[in-house]
Structure 1
Amino acid sequence: MALPRTSSRTPLRSDAPSHRAMPSESFSLPLAVMASLHPKRHRNRMTILALLALISLSTYIFCSQFSFAISPAFVLQQKPTTPEQIVLGLEPMRQARLAQAKKKQTKHSFGGREPVTLTPAQELAAVSSFIASLPQNMIPLSVDPALPIDPELVLDFDTRSPHAMEEVELVVEDVWTRNPVMLYCKLHSAVSRELKGILEDMNLRPPPMILEVDTRDDGEVLLPILSRLTGSSEIPILLIGGRPVGSMAQIREMLSTGELQRLVKSSGAVIGGGKRRKHHRK
Structure 2
Amino acid sequence: MPPPPLSFHYRDGLDSSRPSPTSSLYSLVDLVHPRKPRLRATLLCLFTLVGITTYIFLVAQPSLTAAPISLRKSAAPVEEPANSWRLLAANYAAKYRNVAAAVVASHPEVELTPAQELGAVTSFMVALPQNVIPLTVDPSRPIDPQLVLDFDTRSSRAEAEVEDLVADVWARNPVVLFSKLRSPISREAKSILQDMKLRPEPTIFEVDQRPDAEVLVPLLHRLTNTTILPILLIGGTSVGTIEDIRDLDARGDLRKAVTAAGAEVGGANNRKKNRHR
Cα deviations by residue, 1:115-146 (Å, 9 ceiling, x for unpaired) = 10010000000000000110000000000000
User: Is the Cα–Cα contact under 8 Å of residues 107 and 113 in structure 1 kept in the other structure?
Assistant: no
Q: Structure 1 residues 174, 137: CA separation in 2 closer, same or farther (over 3 Å shift)?
A: same
Q: CA deviation at 1:107?
A: 3.5
- Are residues 120 and 105 of structure 1, via their aligned partners in 2, closer, same or farther at CA, if it must alter by over 3 Å? farther
Amino acid across the alignment from 1:212: E
**AA matched with 2:208:** D
The one-letter code matched in structure 1 to 2:124 is F
Give 2:213's match in structure 1, choosing from 208, 215, 219: 219
Q: Are positions 1:167 and 2:164 aligned together?
A: no
Match of 1:123 among 100, 117, 126: 117
1:185 maps to a residue whose letter is S
Structure of larger gyration radius: 2
TM-score if structure 1 supplies the norm length?
0.60
Q: Distance in 2 between matches of 1:251 and 1:207?
A: 18
Partner Cα distance (1:212, 1:196) in 2: 11
Q: Which residue is equivalent to 2:244?
A: 250
- State how far apart, in whole Å, the 2-side matches of 1:254 and 1:216 are: 29
Deviation at 1:108, TM superposition (A): 4.2
Q: 1:262 aligns to what SS in structure 2?
A: helix
The residue correspondences of 1:80-95 to structure 2 (distance < 5 A) are none
Change (3 A) 1:135 1:105: farther
The answer on whether the counterparts of 1:202 and 1:272 sit within 8 Å (CA) in structure 2 is: yes
**RMSD between aligned alpha carbons?**
2.1
Distance in 1 (CA, whole Å) between partners of 2:249 and 2:210 is: 29
| Paired letter, 1:245 | V
Offset of residue 113 of structure 1 = 2.2
- Tell me what 2:133 maps to: 139
Cα distance in 2 between the residues matched to 1:106 and 1:263 = 46
The one-letter amino acid of 2:210's match is R
Q: 1:199-250 CA distances to partner (integer Å, 9 max, x unpaired)?
A: 1111100000000100000010000110000000100000000000011011
The one-letter code matched in structure 2 to 1:140 is P
The answer on whether the counterparts of 1:146 and 1:224 sit within 8 Å (CA) in structure 2 is yes
Question: 5 Å matches for 1:201-216?
Answer: 201-216=195-210
Distance 2:174 2:115 in 1: 15
Tell me whether 1:176 sits opposite 2:170 in the alignment: yes
- Encode CA deviations 1:149-172: one digit per residue, 9 max, x unaligned: 000000000000000000000001
Indicate the percent of aligned positions where both proteins have the same amino acid.
55
What amino acid maps onto 1:260 in structure 2?
L
Residue type of the partner of 2:150? D
Gaps of 5+ in 2: 1-97
Offset at residue 255 of structure 1 (A):
0.6
- The answer to whether structure 1 residue 230 and structure 2 residue 224 are counterparts is yes
Q: How many Å separate the matches in 2 of 1:145 and 1:113?
A: 26
Q: Residue 185 in 1 paired to residue 179 in 2?
A: yes
- Counterpart-to-counterpart distance in 2, 1:195 and 1:264: 14
Corresponding letter in the other structure for 2:220: L
Which residue of structure 2 aligns with residue 197 of structure 1?
Answer: 191
Q: Give the paired residue count.
A: 176
The answer (yes or no) to whether the contact 1:106–1:112 under 8 Å persists in 2 is: no
Report the Cα offset of residue 110 of structure 1: 3.5
Work out the CA distance in 2 between the residues paired with 1:202 and 1:219: 28
Per the normalisation by structure 2, the TM-score is 0.61
More helix by share: 2
Change in CA separation of 1:238 and 1:216 when aligned onto 2, cut-off 3 Å: same
For 2:267, what is the secondary structure of its paired residue? coil
Secondary structure of the 1:274 match is helix
Cα pair distance change 1:277/1:185, threshold 3 Å: farther
Letter in 1 for 2:243: A
Runs of 4+ in structure 1 deviating by more than 6 angstroms, as ranges, are: none
